[in-house]
Amino acid sequence: MKRNLLLTPGPTQIPPYLCAELGKPIIHHRTPQFQQALKEVVEGLKFVLQTKNDVFLLASSGTGAMEASVANLASCGDKVICVEGGKFGERWTELCKAYGINAQVVKVPWGKDVDPMKIKELLDADKDIKAVFVTHCETSTGVTTNIKAVGDVVKNTPAVLVVDAISGFGVTDLKTDEWNVDVVASASHKGLMLSPGVSFVCVSPKAFKLMEVSKSPRYYFDLRKAKKTMEKIDTPFTPAIGIVLALQESLKRFKVEGLENIFGYYAKLAKGTRAAAKALGLTLFPDESCMSTALTTINVPEGIDGEKVMKIMRDTYGISVAGGQGEELKGKVIRIAHMGCVDEYDILSGISCLEKVLKELGYKFTLGAGVAAAQKVFNE
């Protein structure tokens, strides 16, 4: 039987101890037992997000948390800013359009970070702008946004800062309160190493004021309902019970190991992956200065189809990496994630498999050079 190693930026691998949690019989959610779990999960999420703000759980994939943020913060005709440096930045704009919200787009070349001054100019020119939507780790390109710098320009304006941290959560530092982030959206199936099904939204008091007056249509994702029930440690609807219970276990790791150590661990995996790519004579897609530690986006050499590389790795050798997204990157890059349940040997397997496939496709390099370079970093 073939292995099935996921080095994809969501879903990520579920470690055996969490598979065991997910396999447990269901309990009812209106019970002290579930209430205790929900309380611990909310506390655990706040710990990772370094925040005192409210956290609400939803039953959806990550995009549901993004939609909840949009629908609750602004009304039809309101003005907002969306930062687009990749596929997920574009999703903010698409969601705003769906709700009739007037999004001014700050386009960022793919692979680069946003210049916060561009956001400042727009905010200075128009005090009616309600929100600024950005992406923490832009998973389509492998860039991490300097959220602190964006927070510095948004904090003294009437606008709120909304961050899609779906792939960055628990992998890369996000100091919600210190960096003046008002809303964070994330989900269970990336850094938290579980099945998709739970998303969550972290909301500041400044943002909640907007949520109370938004006229956007909403029912299931109405965060006013979520807040009201969360005051009694409850949810308005049936939560994804099994995943919430497993989150209780998944989140323990952050307190036991410490946030700094966890972020450092992924940074090391990223460093090894980058060193391997370079040793193979390959280049990296994003600028060095804003490269994400959650995933590494590697340019596929001229004349080789990245989609083919990805498919052979997956279908012949059982190792999944992600291909490129959008017209800009399809077939041109592969993306190797280092989030959740991944260790050095998983990365080494991925690199050795990449080497094997590149060799098969006729790319010239010294076999083993990538693995050796990564090993060197891992042994530092």
Ligand X SMILES: *Cc1c(COP(=O)(O)O)cnc(C)c1O
Q: Cα separation of 303 and 315, whole Å?
A: 21
Nearer to ligand X, 181 or 377 (CB): 181
What is the Cα 196 distance to its own chain's centre?
A: 13
Task: Write each residue from 189 to 228 as x if it is in contact with ligand X (CB under 6 A), else as -, in one continuous string.
Answer: -------x--------------------------------
Q: State the nearest-atom distance from the C-beta of 169 to ligand X, in Å.
A: 10
Q: How many C-alpha atoms does 311 have within 13 Å on its Cβ side?
A: 8
Q: How far is CA 12 from CA 118, 180, 277, in A?
A: 34, 29, 21
Q: State the nearest-atom distance from the C-beta of 61 to ligand X, in Å.
A: 3
Residue nearest to ligand X (CB): 62
- For residue 246, the surrounding DSSP H or E stretch is helix 241-257
Q: How many C-alpha atoms does 63 have within 13 Å on its Cβ side?
A: 11
Tokens of 298: 């590697």
> Which residue is associated with the tokens 């370094």?
50
Q: State the nearest-atom distance from the C-beta of 187 to ligand X, in Å.
A: 5
Given the rule CB under 6 A, which of 49-57, 159-167, 327-335, 353-361 is the region that contacts ligand X?
159-167
- For residue 296, the surrounding DSSP H or E stretch is strand 295-299
Structural contact between residues 61 and 197, judged by C-beta atoms closer than 8 angstroms? yes
Structural contact between residues 343 and 378, judged by C-beta atoms closer than 8 angstroms? no
Q: Cα separation of 295 and 125, whole Å?
A: 36
Structural contact between residues 276 and 154, judged by C-beta atoms closer than 8 angstroms? no
Q: Under rule CB under 6 A, how many of the chain's residues touch ligand X? A: 14
Backbone angles phi, psi at 163, to 5 degrees: -120, 125
Nearer to ligand X, 187 or 309 (CB): 187
Q: State the nearest-atom distance from the C-beta of 258 to ligand X, in Å.
A: 24
Q: Cα separation of 126 and 114, whole Å?
A: 19
139 scored as a contact of ligand X (CB under 6 A): yes
167 scored as a contact of ligand X (CB under 6 A): yes
Q: State the nearest-atom distance from the C-beta of 279 to ligand X, in Å.
A: 27
Q: Cα separation of 293 and 273, whole Å?
A: 10
- For residue 225, the surrounding DSSP H or E stretch is helix 223-230
Q: State the nearest-atom distance from the C-beta of 91 to ligand X, in Å.
A: 6
> Which residue is associated with the tokens 């600024």?
132
Q: State the nearest-atom distance from the C-beta of 189 to ligand X, in Å.
A: 6
Nearer to ligand X, 37 or 68 (CB): 68
Q: Cα separation of 347 and 163, whole Å?
A: 28
Given the rule CB under 6 A, which of 67-75, 162-170, 265-273, 301-309 is the region that contacts ligand X?
162-170
Nearer to ligand X, 160 or 187 (CB): 187
Among 70, 187, 313, 322, binds ligand X (CB under 6 A): 187
Q: State the nearest-atom distance from the C-beta of 376 to ligand X, in Å.
A: 30
Q: State the nearest-atom distance from the C-beta of 324 to ligand X, in Å.
A: 14
Sites for ligand X among residues 48-77 (CB under 6 A): 61-63
236 scored as a contact of ligand X (CB under 6 A): no
Nearer to ligand X, 187 or 230 (CB): 187
- For residue 334, the surrounding DSSP H or E stretch is strand 333-337
Q: State the nearest-atom distance from the C-beta of 144 to ligand X, in Å.
A: 11
Tokens of 114: 């946003």
Given the rule CB under 6 A, which of 46-54, 161-169, 174-182, 333-341 is the region that contacts ligand X?
161-169
| The one-letter amino acid at 124 | D
Among 135, 145, 273, 320, binds ligand X (CB under 6 A): 135
Nearer to ligand X, 143 or 282 (CB): 143
Q: Cα separation of 357 and 54, whole Å?
A: 47
Among 54, 67, 164, 173, binds ligand X (CB under 6 A): 164
Task: Write each residue from 8 to 27 as x if it is in contact with ligand X (CB under 6 A), else as -, in one continuous string.
Answer: -xx-----------------
Site of interaction with ligand X (CB under 6 A) = 9-10, 61-63, 88, 135, 137, 139, 164, 166-167, 187, 196
